[in-house]
Amino acid sequence: MPIKKRGTGLTAVADAWQLADIDVTASYPIRPYTAVMAEVAKRIANGLMKCEMVHGEGEHAQFSIAHGASMAGARATTGSSGVGVAYAFETYSPIAGGRCPIQALIADRTLDPPGDFGSEHTECLNLRDNGWIYGWAENAQESLDNSLMFFRIGEDPDIMLPQIVAMDGYFVSHIAQDYEMPDQEQVDKFLPPFKPQFRLDVNNPVIMGPQIEPEMGPPLEWDRNVVMDRVKEKIVAVTEEFGKIFGRKYAPFVEEYMTDDADMVFLLQGAHAVTCRSAIRYLRQAGYKVGMCRLRWFRPFPDTALKAILPKFKVVGVVDTNTSYGAAGGSGVLLVETRASVSEVPGKPLIQGFTSGLGGETITHEEFFKMAEMMKMTLEAGRIIQDAVWVNFNDYLPAVSEVQAAEQQVAQTKE
Partner 1 sequence: MATAEMIKTIAQAPDKEYYLPGHRTCAGCGPALAYRLIAKASGKNTIFVGPTGCMYVANTSYACGPWAVPWTHAQITNAGAVGSGIAEAFKMMIKKGKIKDEYPNIICMAGDGGSIDIGLQAASAMMYRGHDVLFVMYDNESYANTGIQTSPMTPYGAATMFTPPGPEIPEAKKFFPKDPMAIFCGGGHPAVKYGATASIAYPVDLMNKVRKGLAQEGPAFLHVQCPCPKGWTFPANRTVEIGRLAVETGMWFMYELEDGVKKWSILPKQLKPVEEYLQTQGRFAHLKPEHVAKLQAWVNARVQTLGLEVPLPPAR
By CB under 8 A, name the binding residues for partner 1. Answer: 21, 23-24, 26, 50-52, 54-58, 60-61, 64-74, 76, 90-91, 94, 193, 200-203, 205-213, 216
Closest distance of CB 196 from partner 1, Å? 11
Contact 11, 40 (CB under 8 A): no
Peptide bond into 113 cis (omega under 30): yes
C-alpha–C-alpha distance, residues 322 and 119, integer Å:
9
Closest distance of CB 66 from partner 1, Å? 6
Nearer to partner 1, 67 or 365 (CB): 67
The long-range contacts involving 376-382, CB below 8 angstroms and separated by at least 24 positions, are 376/264, 376/288, 376/315, 376/406, 377/402, 377/403, 378/315, 378/350, 378/352, 379/263, 379/264, 379/314, 379/315, 379/350, 382/350
Closest distance of CB 69 from partner 1, Å? 4
How many other β-carbons are positioned within 10 Å of the β-carbon of residue 263? 16
C-alpha–C-alpha distance, residues 169 and 172, integer Å:
6
Closest distance of CB 187 from partner 1, Å? 16
> Which residue, 351, 391, 390, is CA-closest to 368?
391
3 state DSSP class of 209: coil
For residue 266, report the phi and psi dihedrals to the nearest 5 degrees: -85, 140
Closest distance of CB 23 from partner 1, Å? 5
Nearer to partner 1, 13 or 61 (CB): 61
C-alpha–C-alpha distance, residues 396 and 272, integer Å:
22
List all residues 6 or more positions away from 188 whose beta carbon is below 8 Å from its beta carbon.
none
Residue 299's DSSP bridge partners are 134
C-alpha–C-alpha distance, residues 162 and 87, integer Å:
18
> Any idea what the Cα angle at residue 360 is, between residues 355 and 362, rounded to 5°?
70
Closest distance of CB 7 from partner 1, Å? 26
Closest distance of CB 86 from partner 1, Å? 15
Residue 257's DSSP bridge partners are 292
Nearer to partner 1, 45 or 216 (CB): 216
Closest distance of CB 253 from partner 1, Å? 33
Contact 329, 387 (CB under 8 A): yes
C-alpha–C-alpha distance, residues 305 and 327, integer Å:
23
Nearer to partner 1, 200 or 345 (CB): 200
Closest distance of CB 71 from partner 1, Å? 6
C-alpha–C-alpha distance, residues 62 and 59, integer Å:
5
The number of residues making up the chain comes to 415
Closest distance of CB 188 from partner 1, Å? 14
In angstroms, the Cα distances linking 272 to 136, 147, 229, 275 are 11, 20, 28, 5
Closest distance of CB 70 from partner 1, Å? 8
Contact 178, 5 (CB under 8 A): yes
